[in-house]
Chains A and B, each alone.
Chain A
Amino acid sequence: MGFSTSAAVAVMLIGFLLAAGVLFPAVFAAGGDTGSAFSAQAEQTRDQINTAIDIVESPDPDADEPTVVASNDGTTTIDVMKVDVLVNGQYVHYDHYATTVVTETGEEDPVEYEETDIWHPGSELEIELDLDGISGVDNEDDIDRVKLVTEYGITASAEYEEGS
């Protein structure tokens, strides 16, 4: 009986080893995926906290096309392509506005970048709206509210008085 007991125990031990070899990598992989998901979420939260924008200028009534100016008051760079513009609550497609990033504002020679995606901290973004692309808005006086949304959901909005 002695030898058969040992042999049975040996077979079962080998079975447990194989099972553990299958189970542990799966558990570690699942734990690792969840951990990196939390870390991605934490990184997003940090970017969100570091982002702040403010609309600084209402559209100039003398300009041909109304321009909204917003400044990046935070400490992270904002991706211009991922900024969304809502006029009177309506989404404006990016084909219907032109963006320019202006730095060194307030000094004599502000530097303007027209083809850039980088809205760095301390600079301003000028958004020139093409009113043909916005339904319900025929001229500048029809603009009541403008809302800007950045990549991580940080927003800024401004109301405009009539006739200003």
Chain B
Amino acid sequence: MASVSATHLILFIASIVVAAGIAGTLVLEVDNLSGAIETQGSATSTEIETEIDIISDAGQPDSIYDAGDEETDERITLYVKNIGSEHLEAHHSAVDILVNGQYVSSDHTELEHLYADSSSWQTGDVVELTIDLEGANGDIEIDGDTSATVIVNDNEDSIDFHVAGDDGGD
């Protein structure tokens, strides 16, 4: 052991320190990465299991679109059913709505659970979505062919219906 010089000792300690630094950094970063992979995997499986369906009757457009009068605002009412295996949140901010391709802010939408006063939109449950078009950005003109899209957890469904214009029949 007397042949081991101080230089060798210093180099040895230095190389061990560097190696430990590399190994420690690697373990920490991989830990972060695996946490991210787990979160992403669970988000992806939620998206896959989410399935919604608009059950409003397009054959009765009066029940969907209400042109409104002095007392009530112009609005669209949609019934949406959760047909997937994922329970959703029964709150209007969980749903994104497009009318004729234009986004309607969730300030102008209301969501009501039709089975019970519950905050969980379970599979098989139907909710009533009311979209206040008068309050929403005034560019949305409803005349003739209209399409409404509801998006939850990246899963969407659309309904097309015909609204009679002022010039047509009723």
Q: Do A and B come from one complex?
A: yes
Separation in Å of the B113 CB from the closest CB of chain A? 11
A40 touches B16 (CB 8 A): no
Q: Is the interface of A mostly helix, strand, loop or mixed?
A: helix
Instruction: Establish whether residues B30 and A8, one from each chain, have CB atoms under 8 Å apart when the complex forms.
Output: no
Q: Is the CB–CB distance between A11 and B126 below 8 Å? A: no
Q: Do A151 and B23 contact each other (CB < 8 Å), given the known contacts A29-B41, A30-B42, A86-B55?
A: no
A9 touches B49 (CB 8 A): no
Contact mask for chain B residues 79-104; partner A; CB cutoff 8 A; 1 contact, 0 none: 10101110000000000000000000
Contact of B126 with A89 in the complex, beta carbons under 8 Å: no
The distance in angstroms between the C-alpha atoms of A155 and B159, with both chains bound, is 14
CB-CB under 8 A from A149, the residues of chain B are 53, 55, 81
Of the candidates B33, B53, B59, which one forms a contact with A89 in the assembled complex, judged by CB atoms under 8 Å apart? Answer: B59
Chain A residues bordering chain B, tally (CB within 8 A): 53
Instruction: Kindly state whether residue B48 has any CB partner on chain A within 8 Å.
Output: yes
- Measured CB to CB, the closest approach of chain B to A153, in angstroms, equals 4
Give 14 new A-B contacts, CB below 8 A, not counting A88-B63, A145-B59, A147-B57: A8-B19, A11-B20, A12-B19, A15-B19, A15-B24, A18-B23, A19-B27, A22-B30, A31-B41, A37-B45, A44-B51, A89-B62, A89-B63, A151-B83
- 23 A–B contacts, CB within 8 A, in A order: A3-B12, A8-B18, A10-B19, A15-B20, A18-B27, A19-B26, A22-B34, A23-B33, A26-B41, A30-B37, A31-B41, A34-B44, A40-B49, A40-B85, A84-B79, A86-B56, A91-B128, A147-B57, A149-B55, A151-B83, A153-B55, A153-B83, A155-B55
